[in-house]
Amino acid sequence: MVHPDDPAVPSTKHPAPCSLCARPAVTFIRYSGAHLCRQHFIEFVKRKVTREVRRQVRLPETAVIAVAVSGGKDSVAALRILHDIFGPRRGTRLVAITVDEGIRGYRPPSLRIVAQNCRQIGVEHHVVSFKDHFGMTMDSTKARWGQSTPCTYCGVLRRHSMNRKARELGADVLATGLNLDDTAQSVLMNICRGDVERLARLGPHEKVQQGLIPRIQPLRQVTDKEAFLYATLMGYPVHHSVCPYAGGAMRNRFRDIVLELERASPGTRYCILNSYDAMREAIEEKYPPAKLAGCTSCGEPSVDGLCEACRLVQALKKGQGARGEGNDGRRRPLTRAP
Ligand code: SF4
């Protein structure tokens, strides 16, 4: 979601010419001082994504790339750019996966939007639902969340569902729509709550763990606003609604903090990302990935006994709150994905 206070929200009435040609600029890239026209902006984003994907992963000729697509601007942009990059490559197969958490009024329209995008580029679309996987939905468990925020449950169950489906489809990697703003927020958030182990697992994942599909982040160098402008200029169908349960997430506070820092000092998001990358090897050495076994209930990768998703589902079914947290609070550090 593009925040209305984003210091660099694109202006369609930008008076300046493009810094690279004479055409009118559609945006001003504040952190670099460049004005870019439509064509140069599109090339600029695609170049960043292509470079980042090459940096993150080396794929075999016959790779299967699963893309987690919620229908929002980020995941749609990731899917479409990956299709532009890998579509012409013979043997590479792109598949889109959407998780249906069972959130009435929010998820159904986004499923249609993802399906529309997939039809336009001829990509398979797979939907995995909480109802089928766990026998419950976010809406149906609302009364049992207790003090925990909805994302606590949803985040863990989403990652579990996504990993399982990607593996069933034979995916080599799972691409997500995480952008630069998301990454900067996650880095700060984990530092502020002292969860260094989780910081080590933010991805992109270079080491393969048994049963876990490595996640890549094609938009890691693309800002929130750039993803929004890219999807808009390309005319892609995008779902703009905000999840009705997103309100209490701690991430919202960090979104404001990161934007405030960026406003005061353009380029801060890149500085946070670069600092994280510089520390990453040392953190990963101190917190190597846990040894995984199969969950005693679902068989998905787990550190011991029940995986985190089964533990949460059981707690929900018994009407108990979560002991750890998923997306936005301190959690029991387990594995990097499910
Ligand atoms: Fe789930 Fe939270 Fe995302 Fe809503 S905002 S879809 S509850 S993780």
pLDDT of 257-297, one tens digit each? 999 999 999 999 999 999 999 999 999 899 888 888 889 99
pLDDT of 330: 38
* Residue 276 half-sphere exposure toward CB, CA atoms < 13 A: 25
H-state helical runs in 57-142 = 73-86, 107-121, 130-134
Q: Please tell me if the CB atom of residue 313 comes closer than 6 angstroms to any atom of ligand 1.
A: no
Atom of ligand 1 nearest to the CA of 246: 5
pLDDT of 206: 75
Spatial distance between the Cα atoms of 291 and 273, rounded to a whole number of angstroms: 28
Please tell me the distance between residue 240's alpha carbon and the centre of ligand 1 in angstroms.
14
Which regions of the chain does DSSP assign to beta strands (E)? 27-29, 34-36, 64-68, 93-100, 124-129, 173-175, 215-216, 293-294, 301-302
Mutate to test the pocket of ligand 1, among 100, 156, 243 (most ligand atoms within 8 A of CB): 243
Supply the residue whose CA is at minimum distance from atom 5 of ligand 1: 246
157 exposure class (CB count in 10 Å sphere: 0-12, 13-18, 19+): buried
Going along the chain from its start, the domains and CATH numbers come out as: 56-254+283-318 (3.40.50.620)
Atom of ligand 1 nearest to the CA of 243: 4
Instruction: Spell out, as residue ranges, where the chain has pLDDT lower than 70.
Output: 1-14, 320-338
pLDDT of 38-74, one tens digit each? 999 999 999 999 999 999 998 888 999 999 999 999 9
pLDDT of 76: 98
